[in-house]
Structure 1
Amino acid sequence: MASGGDLRASYDKFVKGDQATSKDMTKWFKDGGVFTKKTCNSNNLDIAFSKVKEKGKMKITFKQIDALINEVAKAYAKDTGKSEADSVAEIKQKLSKVSGPTATGATKVSKTGGVDRMTDTSKYTGSHKERFDESGKGKGIEGREERVENKGYVGAYKGEGTFDEKVDK
């Protein structure tokens, strides 16, 4: 059977501060593998959480964990066919073994080689090709925008600086 210290250490990894929210408990029970495919699920945990928490409060303390586990153990026992006492012991053991929250839905590195293909500038065509120099290094803003120097009377005037020469003669 799990000791209270192991359970507390595991609890502290999932809870910030001294009080736990329903979301914290759902993550802890899910990572601990307590949920079954049937009755014992996050909905059941939310109902048990509502029964255990004090009226008007949205969080529970570690002192209320035993009561929460006892409530969840009823559904767990129903799904596994074990007694409630055995279910309580098994849930405590599972929860105390959890080393910490796992990252779910985190972005992973592509294994298909698509990143290499998309970053190979030699395969770019059209206007995208103009964004890089010969070595493949990006040109910055010069590669993204057509920069126009507005010198002279007309924007596209080619004979810049020749007007004064013509007038002086």
Structure 2
Amino acid sequence: MCLIETYLQMAQIDAHIKQPNGSIETILDLSNDDEKSRKEIQTISDRIEQQNLNDNNDVENCCNKTTTTESSSNESFVQLFKMFAKFGDCKSTGETITLSNSDKWFKQAKIIDPSNRTITTTDTGIYFKQVSKTKKTLNFKEFNLFLEKLATVKKIDLTELKNKLQQSGPPATNKTTTAVTSGAIGRLTDHTKYTGSHKQRFDESGKGRGKAGRVDVTPNTGYVSGFKSTT
């Protein structure tokens, strides 16, 4: 078979393989002239089938990856809910959350923010109570219903609201009291400047010596004053 006929035959095969009912057997019937042509056709069909198989695997892997990401995202949101539900309450199991802890979560996520009063603690209190009714806490399903009500009334995208809560991270205490060490307070708390008996109340590192720094402790050895041993 000449080269031109081989190219024409390959073009015919490519056109036929794109048909819905194309199969290897049908393709092979297009050319039965010689064994060499059959082998070439078989090689082409195998390559096309392998490519189709790879494409299907890529689509399946992409779908699986998307499902895994969504599942992981939802799991992360549930974990954060439990963390904020237990925050400050050692007896809480994390199954339900109070209004104060919910507001803590909203503030950390910058949803409740003095610079942007789209949502306030008044809003959260109203719609939290609408869902909780006579209860003081919400479980995870009820908390999602609370978010839906809040987003609908305040005209906020629910997905964006949840994303902000999820990106806030675990509960943190960022308003801790720091010791003042400047000015008059610094001078009054500097143990190296103490004099007299007050100087004896601290060791070199500034740590208090306790009772040993306030009273003179006499060793209780059992000997009286002026005793002289005869041994």
Instruction: For 1:69 and 1:109, locate their aligned partners in 2 and report how far apart those are by CA, in whole Å.
Output: 39
After TM superposition, give the deviation of residue 135 of structure 1 in Å: 9.1
Identify if the C-alpha distance between structure 1 residues 145 and 68 changes in structure 2 by more than 3 Å, giving closer, same or farther: same
Instruction: For 1:34 and 1:130, locate their aligned partners in 2 and report how far apart those are by CA, in whole Å.
Output: 54
Identify if the C-alpha distance between structure 1 residues 9 and 136 changes in structure 2 by more than 3 Å, giving closer, same or farther: closer
After TM superposition, give the deviation of residue 141 of structure 1 in Å: 1.9
Instruction: For 1:135 and 1:61, locate their aligned partners in 2 and report how far apart those are by CA, in whole Å.
Output: 51
Deviates more, 1:96-105 or 1:30-39: 30-39
Instruction: For 2:205 and 2:110, locate their aligned partners in 1 and report how far apart those are by CA, in whole Å.
Output: 52
Q: Is the 8 A contact 2:191 2:199 kept in 1?
A: no
Give the TM-score of the pair, scaled to structure 2: 0.48
The aligned counterpart of 1:50 is: 129
Give the partner amino acid of 1:118: T
The aligned counterpart of 1:91 is: 161
Higher relative contact order (CA 8 A, sep 6+): 1
Match of 1:141, SS state, is helix
The aligned counterpart of 2:189 is: 118
Instruction: For 1:14 and 1:133, locate their aligned partners in 2 and report how far apart those are by CA, in whole Å.
Output: 43
Identify if the C-alpha distance between structure 1 residues 134 and 24 changes in structure 2 by more than 3 Å, giving closer, same or farther: closer
Pairs within 5 Å for 1:78-157? 84=155, 86-108=156-178, 118-121=189-192, 123-132=193-202, 139-145=209-215
Residue number among 48, 60, 64 corresponding to 2:142 in the alignment: 64
Q: How many residues are paired up?
A: 141
Identify if the C-alpha distance between structure 1 residues 10 and 133 changes in structure 2 by more than 3 Å, giving closer, same or farther: closer
More helix by share: 2
Identify if the C-alpha distance between structure 1 residues 145 and 8 changes in structure 2 by more than 3 Å, giving closer, same or farther: same
Instruction: For 2:85 and 2:203, locate their aligned partners in 1 and report how far apart those are by CA, in whole Å.
Output: 51
Q: Is the 8 A contact 2:202 2:213 kept in 1?
A: yes
Give the TM-score of the pair, scaled to structure 1: 0.63
Unaligned segments of structure 2, at least 5 residues: 1-69, 87-93, 219-224, 227-231
Match of 1:15, SS state, is helix
Superposed CA deviations along residues 105-163 of structure 1, whole A, max 9, x for unmatched, are 22346675977983443x11244124357897755424324779xxxxxxxxxxx88xx
Instruction: For 2:166 and 2:195, locate their aligned partners in 1 and report how far apart those are by CA, in whole Å.
Output: 57
Superposition CA RMSD, Å: 3.7
